[in-house]
Amino acid sequence: MRVKFYKATTTSILALLFVFNIFSIKVSASPLRVNARAAIAIDSKTKVVLFEQNAQDVIPMASTTKIMTALVAIKYGDLDKKIEISSKAAAIRGSTVGYKKGELVPLRELIYGLMLRSGNDAAIAISEGIAGSVEEFVKLMNEYAVQIGLCSTHFESPHGLDSDNHYTTAYDLALITAKARENKLFNDIVQTKDIDKEDLGFTRDFHNINKILWQLPNATGVKTGFTGKAGKCLVTSVNIKDNDVVIVILNSNERWKETKKINDFVDKNYEFKKFFSKGEIVGELNVGKKGSKVELTAEEDIIVPVTEKNKYEAKILTPNSNTILPIKKGDKAGSVEIYENDKKIFSKALIANNNAGKESFIKRWFKFK
């Protein structure tokens, strides 16, 4: 079965890439060094970078690939659909759940097996069950990677075994994980330590092989990985001061210790400052010849990680009101930008709190023509 997928236009994709990469990347010198080929920590909500080391280097990712596999499976799959294990899935090398050819397994269970046991057999079964083949599923992975703004990632498999054109960066992998963290089911799965098959009607019990869940009290996921080329990898989500932080360690023999080191660094050096509250009026937009005003409000709490050593400033940007009339309550009608030492690190749209202006006769005529 081929999944229907509507590709974005080139213009939309370029615009999306601009938003993700201009507003999110913040690279600065840090006193911390970790024993890893590449590493990063980002605030999951704002995508502000809290620590980085070679975070833009293009390198293999091993089974941390399965974060994207799970994300695509949840997005496109029917979780209750039973998928038949093929001979290809049953014969895959590397880490497996142990599924046998001909078994019928619900997609939900396959995702648990993918993430808790790092099952390559689960990855193949998911691909075939959703897209009809591994090749078609990998197309979905790469298309979705573009959709969420990744610039330096390419997938050749749903499991991450070494291949020449299967790669990412620590930064891109953090963005993938932050996107996945928006999904409740994903979070429920990756923070599970053990599950009894009777609880969800599975064919097997599952024990999570991700040791960070036991070693770091505030850890909430996510995924381990290891291959000969990629080395030992670990992507971790942690709760720091009631905020979700994603830590990526790639190619490190001491991935558990280095993850804890980054966790402690972020906890010690960052606070999470609320600049504006949800619904708070943060600015005004003058509109029309009569000088009427539109109140601009925050659609959600705007909380950004800050450090004592840096200076932060919030700026309110408004458009030329005459070009966007009329404005309706709930329309995006401006933005707030947060600067760190005069460098933009975050941007968020502001919402109109009231109506203003009327459509011209010409605009109405073209709308109904």
The β-bridge partners of 334 are 350
Q: Which of 270, 230, 349, 355 is nearest to 26 (CA)?
A: 270
Q: Can you read off the two tokens belonging to residue 46?
A: 């704002």
Q: Which of 57, 34, 25, 43 is nearest to 266 (CA)?
A: 43
In the block, which residue shows the tokens 């990744």?
150
The β-bridge partners of 38 are 250
pLDDT of residue 359: 58
Sheet holding 281-287: strands in order across? 281-287, 292-298, 343-352, 332-340, 312-317
Q: How far apart are CA 253 and CA 305, in angstroms?
A: 29
- Residue pair 180/170 in contact (Cβ under 8 Å)? The answer is no
Phi/psi of residue 178, nearest 5 degrees? -60, -40
- Residue pair 128/92 in contact (Cβ under 8 Å)? The answer is no
Domains of the chain, start order: 10-269 (3.40.710.10), 275-368 (2.60.410.10)
Strands annotated E in the chain: 38-43, 49-53, 82-84, 104-106, 194-195, 206-207, 219-227, 231-240, 243-250, 271-276, 281-287, 292-298, 302-306, 312-317, 332-340, 343-352
Long-range contacts, 203-210 (Cβ 8 Å, 24+): 203/103, 203/105, 203/109, 204/97, 204/98, 204/109, 204/113, 206/112, 206/113, 206/116, 206/117, 207/116, 207/117, 208/116, 209/116, 209/117, 209/118, 210/116, 210/234
C-alpha distances in Å from residue 68, one per residue of 51, 54, 100, 298: 23, 21, 24, 31
Model-wide pTM > 0.75: yes
**Spatial CB neighbours of 189, under 8 Å, sequence gap ≥ 6:** 70, 111, 112, 115, 116
pLDDT of residue 322: 61
- Neighbour-count burial of 234, counting CB atoms closer than 10 A to its CB (0-12 exposed, 13-18 middle, 19+ buried): buried
pLDDT of residue 26: 44
Chain-centre distance for alpha carbon 2: 25
* 37-75 per-residue burial string, b: 16 or more CB within 10 A, e: under 16: bbbbbbbbbbbbbbbbbbbebebbbbbbbbbbbbbbbbe
pLDDT averaged over consecutive 10-residue blocks of the chain (369 residues)? Answer: 40 36 42 96 98 98 98 97 98 98 98 98 98 98 97 97 97 98 98 96 97 98 98 98 98 98 98 97 82 89 96 92 74 94 96 78 44
Phi/psi of residue 326, nearest 5 degrees? -80, 160
HSE-CB for 54 with a 13 A CA cutoff: 15
Helix axes 170-180, 66-76, angle to 10 degrees: 30
